[in-house]
Structure 1
Amino acid sequence: MSVLKCISPIDGSVYAERPVMGVEEAASAVARTRKAQKDWARRPLDERIALVRAGVARLHEMNDEVVPELAWMMGRPVRYGGEFGGVNERATYMAEIAARALAPIEIENSAQFERRIVREPHGVVFVVAPWNYPYMTAINTVAPALIAGNTVVLKHATQTLLVGERMARAFREAGLPEDVFINLFLDHPGTEKLISAGSFNFINFTGSVGGGKAIERAAAGTFTGIGLELGGKDPGYVMEDADLDWAVDVLMDGAMFNAGQCCCGIERLYIARPLYDAFVEKAAAWVSSGLKLGNPLEQDTTIGPMANVRFAKEVRAQTQEAIASGARGLIDPKQFPADDGGAYLMPQVLVDVTHDMRVMRDESFGPVVGIMPVDSDEEALTLMNDCQFGLTASLWTNDAERAARIGAEIETGTVFMNRADYLDPALCWTGCKATGRGGSLSEIGFHNLTRPKSYHLRKKSA
């Protein structure tokens, strides 16, 4: 029997393991969720909302266990207290807007005709969730999918093996009916077989470009709806009128938090030349004096190990290639003695970088950021768009009209002004280019988790 193993980045030990579910057994479990879906959808919306809220509340009650569990599984320091704040914010917002977002569109209600468009749940929604923010990324789809009347099958990343199990248990203990929300332990071949068999009505995947392509290939010909968020190489542009200290603090936090393992983390920076030298000096000082690399179970650790040695290896490779090609690293390795050449990776700030270097083009997903000076909005815009990804872009200026004008030309899903690395549940979380397609959260998130159904009811003959 195959076994899924979570290797802890803290010490390389096997932290958790679960047997891989066979395809036939998994198919039977999915069939039970399909059978449960009709009854779940018939429940009044208020009941579904109340049960989802109860599930989120029960999850919060587990937080004392969840926080160290996350540190062991993927390395985030316990000092940050887990993800419940974001989970609650997103689930609460989606619950609050559900009645409006799912309300029928009334075209006519006269003596002769009733015409309306309603939102129907897809049926069984399959959520394939990543390890970097394992609770928040999952809840983005789980909560609105359940509220809309779908049943949910969750498959979590092996690196955060216990998250899906814990989420499904929390919702079940909160009173969610049997088989409405289940977690499956699947390997990649088993996942692809279920998808290619048309087992699901909608699939939401968050992960790598390669993973997204595999999902699309497996679903080919099944006409299953798919939502994909496949990563980013998110830029920041600091204009000459920006608040320099504010920009440094937010952008460097956006680059380094969670060891840089954020889909919308800042990975490349373009600074108006008049501010460039000062920004670079302050950015290097921010990293050198403000971060401590170490064991994530210790309260004074601000940056833990990367989730897996192979992830750290890729970041090291990009950084070393850039330095070999003329870039300069501003952070002295002596300041981060905990860097062990494995999962524990020191943060780095690179200057003298160009777009010929992978560190400025390929997703790094680690604690490294390259900084370049620019001489105009046009140059910054060209460089920001010189990328295969399009998730978010962060603009720093006191001129909102200028930010909106530049934002209109950026190939991205979200434009921030004087903010970075944040997900606003009232806005659609979406991307373009190799970042993927579809959108979660906001009213549009509900629309993507349902289908339109039209009613044309003629009451009387002419």
Structure 2
Amino acid sequence: MTTLRCISPIDGSVFAEREVLSRDAAMAATKAARAAQAGWAARPLQERIDLVMAGVAAVGAMNDVIVPELAHMMGRPVRYGGEFGGFNERATHMGQIAAEALADIQVGEDETFRRYIKRIPQGVVFVVAPWNYPYMTAINTVAPALIAGNTVVLKHATQTLLVGERMAVAFHSAGIPENVFQNVFLDHDTTSEMIARRAFDFVNFTGSVGGGKAMERAAAGTFTGVGTELGGKDPGYVMEDADLDAAVDTLIDGAMFNSGQCCCGIERIYVHESLFDAFVEKAVRIVNGYKLGDPLDKETSIGPMANVRFAQEARAQIDEALADGATAHIDKMPADDGAAYLTPQILTNVTHDMRVMRDESFGPVVGIMPVKSDDEAVALMNDSQFGLTASLWTRDLDRAARVGDRIETGTVFMNRADYLDPGLCWTGCKDTGRGGGLSVIGYHNLTRPKSYHLKKVTS
């Protein structure tokens, strides 16, 4: 039997471990979910919404325990207070729009016919959630899937091993039946086999490009829907008319918060040449003000990366860039141990020949380049295999919209970054994957259309 172990980035100790389910036990769990689905979907919509929101509130009641637990599992400093704000915001919005999003589409009725389209639950939804924002990324799908009448099987990342358990305890305590929402521990082979055997009707995966490919391979030929949100290399572009102070504050926070381990974190910044020197100077001042250290210390503003291997990849990209002529602006911080604790870094004199400007870093490092025009900035922003978000900084909304239309991305921000608005579709393109979460479109992906063409007897 395989044991999953969460290694704490704080000190390298084993923080939690769980045994994976056997294939038979895993299949039994999905069969129980399938058996429970029709009864759950038959409940009134408002009852499902109320139960989900009660489960969300029960998670919030655990926040004093969850915050230090997250610090132990993935290194986020306790000073930031966890994820409940975004967790609650997203679930609340999806509850508020459910009636309209799931309403029948009326096509027409006359003396002869009644025609309409219903939104039918997919059935059993499999949610594979990542470690970097483990509660918020999970609730993106868990809440609307349950509200729409699906049953849900959640598999969480090993790095945040206890999150799924916390959610299951909370949701069950609120009255959601155990077979309607299940947390499971699975190895990769069992996961792939279950998908291949059509144990699920829809799979939602957030994680690496390699993981997304594995999900699609497992589902090949089954016609099981797969939604993915994978890697990112999100750019910021600061135009010559930007509010410089706001741009620096937001983009550097977007690059460094959570030790750079954000799906839509800023990983490369392009600044109009007229503002470039001032931007870099202000950015360096901000990062030099960070305190790298133990995330349980309330004075710590940037903690360790979640795993030593993640830090090793970011270090490798930095070292390769320096060897190729890049300039580093941040001196090594005292807490940098060459392992999980990594000094946040700003690089200039970078080019797209360097991996740090092409490959996902997913760490506290950002490269900054000067540009002369919108055309040059757009070409550089599009010179990426990824497409999740792009952040544009200007006082001209129409200009931002025009530039945004040319960028190959899932979301265009103007004068902000690194935020999921639950009213908008969370989606991407290229190697960032396909599908869409949150918003009305999130409900469309978690249901299937069913058409009714009813002919009346008129004689």
TM-score (norm. length: structure 2): 0.99
What is the Cα deviation at residue 108 of structure 1?
A: 1.6
| Residues 400-419 of structure 1 aligned to structure 2 (within 5 Å) | 400-419=397-416
| Residues 30-179 of structure 1 aligned to structure 2 (within 5 Å) | 30-179=30-179
**SS state of the match for residue 4, structure 2?**
strand
- RMSD over aligned CA atoms reads 0.7
CA deviation map 1:122-156 (0-9, x unaligned): 00000000000000000000000000000000000
| Residues 265-280 of structure 1 aligned to structure 2 (within 5 Å) | 265-280=265-280
**SS state of the match for residue 455, structure 1?**
strand
Give the whole-Å Cα distance in 2 for the aligned partners of 1:359 and 1:385.
15
Residue 242 of structure 1 aligns with which residue? 242
Give the whole-Å Cα distance in 2 for the aligned partners of 1:264 and 1:295.
24
**Are residues 1:374 and 2:357 paired?**
no
Residue 452 of structure 1 aligns with which residue? 449
**Are residues 1:359 and 2:359 paired?**
no
Give the whole-Å Cα distance in 1 for the aligned partners of 2:292 and 2:318.
18
Give the whole-Å Cα distance in 1 for the aligned partners of 2:159 and 2:423.
29
Alignment-mate amino acid for residue 443 of structure 1: V
Residue 196 of structure 1 aligns with which residue? 196
Residue 322 of structure 2 aligns with which residue? 323
Give the whole-Å Cα distance in 2 for the aligned partners of 1:282 and 1:53.
42
What is the Cα deviation at residue 177 of structure 1?
A: 1.7
Give the whole-Å Cα distance in 1 for the aligned partners of 2:386 and 2:378.
14
What is the Cα deviation at residue 112 of structure 1?
A: 2.0
**SS state of the match for residue 440, structure 1?**
coil
Match of 2:340 among 340, 343, 348: 343
Residue 331 of structure 2 aligns with which residue? 332
Give the whole-Å Cα distance in 2 for the aligned partners of 1:62 and 1:110.
54
Give the whole-Å Cα distance in 1 for the aligned partners of 2:453 and 2:447.
19
What is the Cα deviation at residue 180 of structure 1?
A: 0.2
Residue 380 of structure 2 aligns with which residue? 383
CA deviation map 1:230-281 (0-9, x unaligned): 0200000000000000100000000000000001000000000000000011
Give the whole-Å Cα distance in 2 for the aligned partners of 1:29 and 1:215.
19
CA deviation map 1:53-75 (0-9, x unaligned): 00000010011110000000000
**SS state of the match for residue 406, structure 2?**
coil
Unpaired segments ≥5 residues, structure 2: none
Alignment-mate amino acid for residue 89 of structure 2: E
What is the Cα deviation at residue 413 of structure 1?
A: 0.1
**Are residues 1:294 and 2:293 paired?**
yes
Alignment-mate amino acid for residue 23 of structure 1: R
Alignment-mate amino acid for residue 457 of structure 1: L
CA deviation map 1:22-70 (0-9, x unaligned): 1110100110000000000000000000000000000100111100000
Give the whole-Å Cα distance in 1 for the aligned partners of 2:2 and 2:103.
46
The percentage of counterpart residues that share the same residue type is 73
Give the whole-Å Cα distance in 2 for the aligned partners of 1:460 and 1:413.
48
Give the whole-Å Cα distance in 2 for the aligned partners of 1:453 and 1:293.
54
What is the Cα deviation at residue 178 of structure 1?
A: 2.8
What is the Cα deviation at residue 461 of structure 1?
A: 4.9
Unpaired segments ≥5 residues, structure 1: none
Residue 309 of structure 2 aligns with which residue? 310
Give the whole-Å Cα distance in 2 for the aligned partners of 1:222 and 1:283.
49
Give the whole-Å Cα distance in 2 for the aligned partners of 1:159 and 1:95.
29
Alignment-mate amino acid for residue 279 of structure 1: F
TM-score (norm. length: structure 1): 0.99
Give the whole-Å Cα distance in 1 for the aligned partners of 2:389 and 2:254.
12
**SS state of the match for residue 69, structure 1?**
helix
Alignment-mate amino acid for residue 315 of structure 2: R
Give the whole-Å Cα distance in 1 for the aligned partners of 2:217 and 2:449.
26
Give the whole-Å Cα distance in 1 for the aligned partners of 2:407 and 2:246.
23
Alignment-mate amino acid for residue 366 of structure 2: V
What is the Cα deviation at residue 206 of structure 1?
A: 0.1
Aligned length: 459
Give the whole-Å Cα distance in 1 for the aligned partners of 2:214 and 2:398.
41
CA deviation map 1:99-136 (0-9, x unaligned): 00000011123332110001000000000000000000
